[in-house]
């Protein structure tokens, strides 16, 4: 699903081709920053009211989260800023590697994980999730590719680039097990999405496997270097993560309440529209809390 693009990707060559983000996006929070809501704010546990909540985000995933100059931008970032304003709390986004976020929440380093997490049952064993968006998985390749993508089995015999710790890594490795020995699928993992993109651009991987709206963004920003292949698969919700502790659960309930307020007052819809991802919007009834429910 191709979304409206609001930035650009820059191509660079250093021995081999690499693809790096050079975003020119300006954050939407200035016009869609949320409005304080006393009822939702009452749900925030006292431990979090007079401190700055540390939020973990891997900012290599536009249009969800990326770096523009020295500033983190993206629809996830704007959603979190609006949640903080709605709840009357302070939150600081930390740019970290995706694969360490859940462990960081469990260890108490971060109060919130806000990084395009697919809400999976396996992850719910480690953290709570407040669902806030829905996305699928998409395939992109070099524009010259002749691949016909009809499902993960059609990737047998190919090398697939993914970001480590993602749902795509897990799904790709599962699919690879069903490939015949004569057509093995290789799942090549990278620390961040920029490196995965570089592998596809350089021909070290035949395709990139990433969340559907991110695949569309990557293709749009390379102006003809990449193309989408096939249709999105495995559509599922994204969740904002908190710790499976009493305070973590209470914080999740406050975030859930804030999101419902933001849907009602138009803040949520305005943020998604600003980033061109409104087709992934959830209704208030779909803003659910999964994990350590009591």
Q: Is residue 286's pLDDT more than 50?
A: yes
The closest of 95, 128, 136 to 3, measured between CA atoms, is: 136
Mean pLDDT is lowest, of 1-10, 31-40, 131-140, 242-251, for 1-10
Q: Is residue 209's pLDDT more than 60?
A: yes
Mean pLDDT is lowest, of 14-18, 36-40, 126-130, 156-160, for 14-18
Q: Which runs of consecutive H residues, i.e. helices, occur in the chain?
A: 38-41, 75-87, 101-106, 121-124, 167-176, 193-202, 212-221, 246-265, 267-274
Q: Is residue 132's pLDDT more than 70?
A: yes
Query: Are 96 and 191 members of one domain?
Result: no
Query: Are 89 and 16 members of one domain?
Result: yes
Is 286 inside a domain boundary?
Answer: no
Query: Are 119 and 84 members of one domain?
Result: yes
Query: Are 18 and 155 members of one domain?
Result: no
Query: Are 26 and 130 members of one domain?
Result: yes
Question: Which residues, other chains included, contact 50 with Cβ-Cβ below 8 Å and sequence gap of 6+?
Answer: none
Is 4 inside a domain boundary?
Answer: no
Is 161 inside a domain boundary?
Answer: yes
Looking from the CA of 164 toward its CB, the CA atoms found within 13 Å total: 11
The model's pLDDT over 101-121, given as tens digits with 9 standing for 90+, comes to 999 999 999 999 999 999 999
Query: Are 186 and 246 members of one domain?
Result: no
The pTM of the full predicted model, rounded to 2 decimals, is 0.75
Q: Is residue 1's pLDDT more than 80?
A: no
Q: What confidence category does residue 293 fall into, taking pLDDT thresholds of 50, 70 and 90?
A: low
Q: Is residue 210's pLDDT more than 70?
A: yes
Domain that holds residue 83: 9-135+236-280
Rounded mean pLDDT, 217-242: 92
Q: What confidence category does residue 182 fall into, taking pLDDT thresholds of 50, 70 and 90?
A: very high
pLDDT the model gives residue 32? 59
pLDDT the model gives residue 282? 96
Of 181, 208, 235, the last residue of a domain is 235
Q: Where are the beta strands (DSSP E) in the chain?
A: 9-14, 16-21, 52-57, 66-68, 71-73, 90-95, 112-118, 127-142, 159-163, 186-190, 207-211, 226-243, 289-290
Start-to-end CA span in the chain (Å): 37
Rounded mean pLDDT, 131-146: 96
What total of structural domains would you count in the chain? 2
Cβ contact 233:136 at 8 Å: yes
Query: Are 116 and 241 members of one domain?
Result: yes
Mean pLDDT of the chain: 88
Q: What confidence category does residue 217 fall into, taking pLDDT thresholds of 50, 70 and 90?
A: confident
pLDDT the model gives residue 31? 41
Query: Are 216 and 147 members of one domain?
Result: yes
The model's pLDDT over 4-45, given as tens digits with 9 standing for 90+, comes to 222 223 332 222 233 333 332 333 333 457 899 999 999 999
pLDDT the model gives residue 124? 96
Query: Are 154 and 230 members of one domain?
Result: yes
pLDDT above 90 as % of the chain: 79
Query: Are 185 and 128 members of one domain?
Result: no
Query: Are 149 and 189 members of one domain?
Result: yes
Alpha-carbon gap, residue 231 to 236, rounded angstroms: 14
CATH number for the domain that contains residue 190 = 3.40.190.10
Is 293 inside a domain boundary?
Answer: no
Is 20 inside a domain boundary?
Answer: yes
Rounded mean pLDDT, 149-155: 96
Is 2 inside a domain boundary?
Answer: no
Give the rounded distance of the alpha carbon of 247 from its chain centre: 24
pLDDT above 70 as % of the chain: 88
Query: Are 22 and 127 members of one domain?
Result: yes
Q: Is residue 74's pLDDT more than 70?
A: yes
Q: Is residue 208's pLDDT more than 60?
A: yes
């Amino acid at each position: 699903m191709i979304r409206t693009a609001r930035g650009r990707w820059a191509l660079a060559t250093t021995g081999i081709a690499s693809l790096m983000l050079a975003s020119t996006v300006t954050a939407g929070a200035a016009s869609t920053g949320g409005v304080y809501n006393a009822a939702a704010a009452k749900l925030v546990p006292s431990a979090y009211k007079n401190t700055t909540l540390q939020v973990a985000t891997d900012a290599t995933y536009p249009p969800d989260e990326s770096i523009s100059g020295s500033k983190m931008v993206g629809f996830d970032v704007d959603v979190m800023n609006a949640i903080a304003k709605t709840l009357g709390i302070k939150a600081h986004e930390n740019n970290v590697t995706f694969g360490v976020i859940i462990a960081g929440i469990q260890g108490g380093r971060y109060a919130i994980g806000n990084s395009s997490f697919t809400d999976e049952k396996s992850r719910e064993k480690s953290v709570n999730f407040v669902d806030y968006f829905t996305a699928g998985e998409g395939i992109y390749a070099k524009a010259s590719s002749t691949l016909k993508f009809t499902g993960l089995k059609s990737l047998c015999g190919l090398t697939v680039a993914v970001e480590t710790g993602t749902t795509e890594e897990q799904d790709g490795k599962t699919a690879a097990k069903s490939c015949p020995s004569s057509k093995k699928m290789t799942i090549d993992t990278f620390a961040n999405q920029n490196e995965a993109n570089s592998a596809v651009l350089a021909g070290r991987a035949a395709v990139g496997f990433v969340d559907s709206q991110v695949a569309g963004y990557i293709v749009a920003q390379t102006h003809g270097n990449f193309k989408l292949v096939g249709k999105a698969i495995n559509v599922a919700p994204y969740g904002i993560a908190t710790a499976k502790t009493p305070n973590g659960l209470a914080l999740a309930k406050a975030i859930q309440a804030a999101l419902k307020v933001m849907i009602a007052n138009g803040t949520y819809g305005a943020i998604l529209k600003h980033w061109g991802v409104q087709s992934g919007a959830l209704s208030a009834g779909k803003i659910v809390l999964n994990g350590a429910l009591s």
